């Protein structure tokens, strides 16, 4: 079965006029409780901070041996990573940060 020429022209015009709506960043973010960062388990039984440190090291940001503590080297590495990736430079470990590190290191 074929479309009538008028129907086909209408469909093609509709497709040509379609544009995607801009993504709303807030719709894809979860507000997190700061207490979650310290308590959240990451892969293989490590803490979220240790996982972030491991991933930062893998991506070339030298934080030293992962120890689960957010010291000056870890905070500087996070800020540098955030700056290079167009993110707010908080220097904090968060679930979204670790998710992004996971995606980039795999």
Domain parsing of the chain, residue ranges: 46-106
- Helical H segments across the chain, by residue range: 5-17, 34-39, 48-58, 72-84, 95-105
Q: Is the dihedral of CA 5, 7, 12, 17 positive or negative?
A: positive
CA dist., res. 68 & res. 70, Å (int):
7
Tens-place pLDDT, residues 11-49: 999 999 999 888 777 776 666 655 555 454 445 546 889
Tens-place pLDDT, residues 66-104: 998 899 999 999 999 999 988 899 999 988 899 899 988
Whole-model pTM over 0.75: no
Does the domain made of 46-106 have the CATH classification 1.10.101? yes
């Amino acid at each position: 079965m074929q479309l009538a020429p008028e129907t086909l022209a209408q469909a093609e015009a509709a497709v040509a006029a379609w544009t995607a709506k801009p993504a709303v960043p807030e719709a894809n973010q979860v507000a997190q409780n700061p207490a979650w960062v310290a308590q959240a388990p990451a892969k293989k039984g490590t803490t979220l901070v240790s996982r972030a440190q491991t991933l930062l090291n893998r991506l070339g940001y030298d934080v030293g041996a992962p120890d689960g503590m957010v010291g000056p080297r870890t905070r500087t590495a996070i800020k540098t990573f955030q700056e290079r990736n167009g993110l707010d430079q908080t220097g904090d470990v968060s679930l979204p940060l670790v998710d992004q590190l996971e995606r980039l290191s795999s």
